[in-house]
Amino acid sequence: MTARRRFRKSVATAHVLAALALGLGFLLASVPFVADAATTERVVTDRNTGLAIYGVDPVAYFTDKKPIVGRAEFEFRFAGAIWRFANEGNRAAFVADPKVYMPQYGGYDPVGIARGVTTPGYPQLWLIVKNRLYFFYAAEARTAFVADPAAAITAAEARWSTMVQDLAE
């Protein structure tokens, strides 16, 4: 292949790559950013598995003071999701009174709720205040909540009643 032909081929390849990159850029710009997508569940649920709070046992926060992944043989369907538990005792406690053990606001971050945003919390970022479980989206949100839990809860409560109506059951 001559030098001139190699040059033309490299220019043609560059044009094709540039066109592909430009097309991909337009395609990506037309797709909404995932973080802006509205959530539709009243309980934070893994969309692939249907597991509430990503399969973590909600009772374990109270009994073991840490998140523990539940087991498939200890499941219970409640509030449109599958809840998993580490043992039969935790499952029985939840079945007897789920509102006590469920994370508040369905596992959504109370700081986000107070701001009018349903941001799913992470089971690893948690806190129990006045015998209620809260999950947070980020460590900064947890820190803001800890600074004044009463104010954060009051603000979240004021918004939650209207926000929960937009979430599917």
Residue 40 placed within a domain: no
Residue 77 and residue 7 in one domain: no
Position 165 scores a pLDDT of: 81
Range of 58's domain?
Answer: 53-166
- pTM, whole model, 2 decimals? 0.74
How many domains does one find in the chain? 2
pLDDT bracket for residue 19 (50, 70, 90): very low
* CA 27, chain centre distance (Å): 26
**For residues 4 and 147, which has the higher predicted lDDT (pLDDT)?**
147
Is 85 in the same domain as 158?
yes
Q: How many CA atoms lie within 13 A of 163 on its CB side?
A: 24
Q: pLDDT tens digits for 34-90?
A: 332 334 468 999 989 999 999 999 999 999 999 999 999 999 999 889 999 999 999
Query: Considering the domain boundaries, does residue 110 fall inside one?
Result: yes
Please indicate, yes or no, if residue 126 is contained in any of the structural domains.
yes
Is the confidence at residue 127, as pLDDT, over 50?
A: yes
69 belongs to a structural domain: yes
- What does the pLDDT read at residue 130? 95
Residue 47 within a domain: no
Do 20 and 103 lie in one domain? The reply is no
Q: What is the mean pLDDT of residues 136-149?
A: 97
Distance CA(62)–CA(90), nearest Å, equals 10
Please tell me whether residues 7 and 75 are part of one structural domain.
Answer: no
